[in-house]
Structure 1
């Protein structure tokens, strides 16, 4: 009979989560865990999440919590979107360019027409980023995905020097697909429901 004690350690990064487990014999394995996520106006549903676990026979806590390295082709949809927001916040459009498919469509309800193609998408974001201070950051409030269909929904807001910027909440929807072995954004739709007036 095996007795397993576990402790979940929340990590701020979107990378693979490590759990501390203590077991009679040391080994390492992957575990498919189901996490119950309630959804508004819908029936509650189960959304599977793949977690990496580390098993140790030691009774002491494992100190090294380095996340597994993820190659661009193996990144999940959520990791790609988090990388997208990190690139926008750091004004690094070169890293964002790698995440955008050549035929991407960016449909923001603030504008009269969608931006079609990587070049148009990046020009729209370049003008946004160029007008934005490094002190203004897009902060992800909630992110949910369906990895099977490679879709991601994000609720976000802006912060100025670490404080919530008034009237700056929004939501975005992303669809991704594999392009030449790399998961890329093929569609982005969004709208700020509280607009920024600068």
Structure 2
């Protein structure tokens, strides 16, 4: 009797599969990877986290309606040492060219749900369109100074 000793998929395997599905606008494949109770933060776009698979898929469907497969996520780096969590660095390309202001990093947490890894938490951080340089530090100092005088 043969025993299957195949290594179970890791978080990095799941992320690679998820981004391949996102790049081909495969809504069904992406939805299958997301837990019903997922919490997903996009710190560049939304003030509040998206809660639940339906809300995340609504966002992705809007992305595909507007961009189709014209923009592709290219993974620049990925962590591979944790079976349930994964960090990535990425950028977007259009027809093989870097798309402006599209670098980011993401963190993902998966849980084994009935033998399949499901995304339960995600956080995306994307580079800002406007770069503040050292002026950003002065703005932070101003906020801190105002806060201390309260």
Q: TM-score by structure 1 length?
A: 0.59
Query: Which has the larger helix fraction?
Result: 2
Contact 1:169 1:195 in 2 (8 A): no
Structure 1 residues 176, 92: closer, same or farther in 2, change over 3 A?
A: same
Extract unaligned runs of 5+ from structure 2: 1-5, 131-150
- Higher relative CO (Cα under 8 Å, sequence separation at least 6) belongs to 2
1:106 matched to 2:40? The reply is yes
Q: TM-score by structure 2 length?
A: 0.77
In structure 2, distance between residues paired with 1:102 and 1:133 = 24
Structure 1 residues 195, 184: closer, same or farther in 2, change over 3 A?
A: farther
In structure 1, distance between residues paired with 2:57 and 2:116 = 18
Contact 2:25 2:68 in 1 (8 A): no
RMSD: 1.8
Count the aligned residue pairs.
Answer: 124
Contact 1:170 1:194 in 2 (8 A): no
Of 84, 99, 123, the match for 1:189 = 123
Match of 1:22 in 2: none
Ranges of 4+ aligned residues in structure 1 off by more than 3 Å: none
Extract unaligned runs of 5+ from structure 1: 1-69
Of 105, 112, 117, the match for 1:171 = 105
Query: Which has the larger strand fraction?
Result: 1
